[in-house]
Amino acid sequence: MTHLRLTELDPHAPIHYQYAIEQVLYRGKSPYQEFAVVTNPFFGRMLILDGVVQFTEKDEFFYHEMMAHVALHAIESPKRVIVVGGGDGGVVREVLKHPTIEQVHLVDIDPEVTRISREFFPTVSSGLDDPRVIHAPMDGAMFMRQYEGQADAIIVDSTDIIGFATSLFTSDFFDNAKAILGKNGVYITLSESLHFHFEMVRDVQKTMASIFPHVDLYTAPIATYGGNWWCFAVGTNGVDIRKPVGKTVENTRYYCEEVHKTAFLPDFLYKRLMDEERTYF
């Protein structure tokens, strides 16, 4: 029986999560963040960044599948994708399940994330050596300013909206993303918890709406993320992301066409979210 505990503190949430720790497999630090890889009797191996659970062996597919497939199934024959953050490779793994993909730029400021994922999470990092993947270990905001090509989808798999990740949620960043996307392109980013970060979710939507012609929001159940009801913000140059096109990839564990169609907030809840007088539904 283990006596070690990991307590995750979120200053914006009224609850704290605590996990039993069987074993500490790794602890380290990069110029950007502190790392830990631990094992839990239910979730298996867990990646911890700055004291916050990023994903676990048990349920990582919920997050990574929903980040990748909602965007790519709204695009006819996606070919070029940019993943900002996501150095662990989970989103890349899912993107590569689409047979039309020709190129994936993986842009993560911290190469240590990739190294740790390769060593401790081989099923998550399994796509990182695919020849279609171009690794760009640099600041995501700088990459977006300098990139001169086009992409069908941009997926931002960053840490929470604090610290060095805040540059990925500015109007300048969204504007650069919009310019890179084609007319049918899709932009996806995480957007925190509807339960505990209601106003933060709204702020991201409003900032994106000042740049993109069409914005939306969908959710997924993530057991280890604060509030469990996690959000993904969408910006497009016109495409209706609620309508999946083409054949749905089959080798998924959660995502499917039915999940795609029901993941979005109904209109009446979205209107409540965007009402600045509200702090909750």
Q: Which residues pair with 271 in a beta bridge?
A: none
* Digit-coded pLDDT (tens) for 84-139: 999 999 999 999 999 999 999 999 999 999 999 999 999 999 999 999 999 999 99
pLDDT band of 27, cuts 50, 70, 90: very high
The per-residue b/e assignment along 123-154, b for 16 or more CB within 10 angstroms, e otherwise, is: ebbbbbeeeebebbeebbbebbeebeeebbbb
What architecture (CATH level 2) is domain 4-56? Roll (2.30)
pLDDT at 165 over 90: no
Is the pTM here over 0.85, yes or no?
yes
Segment 7-32 mean pLDDT: 92
**Around 177, how many Cα atoms within 13 Å sit in the side-chain half-sphere?**
31
Q: What is the pLDDT of residue 147?
A: 97
* Digit-coded pLDDT (tens) for 46-80: 999 999 999 999 999 999 999 999 999 999 999 99
Nearest to 159 by CA among 171, 169, 151: 169
The one catalytic residue in 10, 108, 157, 216 is: 157
Domain ranges for the chain: 4-56, 60-273
The CATH class, in words, for 60-273 is alpha beta
Q: What is the pLDDT of residue 132?
A: 99
Q: What is the pLDDT of residue 9?
A: 83
Question: Do 158 and 188 form a contact (C-beta atoms < 8 A)?
Answer: no
Q: What is the pLDDT of residue 274?
A: 97
Active-site residue flag, 160? no
pLDDT at 164 over 90: no
Segment 202-213 mean pLDDT: 96
Same fold, 4-56 and 60-273: no
Q: What is the pLDDT of residue 219?
A: 97
pLDDT at 1 over 60: no
